[in-house]
Amino acid sequence: MNKYLIALSVGGLQESPEINYENPEVILAMSQEEAIGIYNDRNNCSYFYGSCLAEKVNGKINVRNDKVSYEQVKMLEDYND
């Protein structure tokens, strides 16, 4: 299993054009798509949806979003299975 840092992607609307990421969670899954699906189901997402900010695959952390903070990435390191 891999670890994925998934957060709710909000914004991108006329009244709030900048996209921000809220409520990050570490999700264990076999793929990024599976992790996003688990996040969306767990949080009953219906308008805004989860987005992958970073992943830890084979012991290596890959940051996938330039808005992710060091503290958020550290969540992947600190998470115990």
DSSP state string for the chain: -EEEEEEEEE--BTTB-S-EEEEEEEEEESSHHHHHHHHHHHTT-SSSEEEEEEEEETTEEEE--TT--HHHHHHHHH---
Asked if the structure places residue 43 within a domain, the reply is yes
pLDDT digits (tens, 9 = 90+) for 1-43: 999 999 999 988 888 788 889 999 999 999 999 999 999 999 9
Asked if the structure places residue 47 within a domain, the reply is yes
**Per-residue pLDDT, 53:** 96
pLDDT level of residue 81 (50, 70, 90 thresholds):
low
What total of structural domains would you count in the chain? 1
Q: Hey, what are 45's tokens?
A: 């997402």
Asked if the structure places residue 67 within a domain, the reply is no
Asked if the structure places residue 69 within a domain, the reply is no
User: Does 56 or 12 have the greater pLDDT score?
Assistant: 56
Asked if the structure places residue 32 within a domain, the reply is yes
Asked if the structure places residue 64 within a domain, the reply is no
**Per-residue pLDDT, 7:** 96
Residues 73 and 45: their CA atoms lie apart, in Å, by: 23
Domain span at 48: 2-59
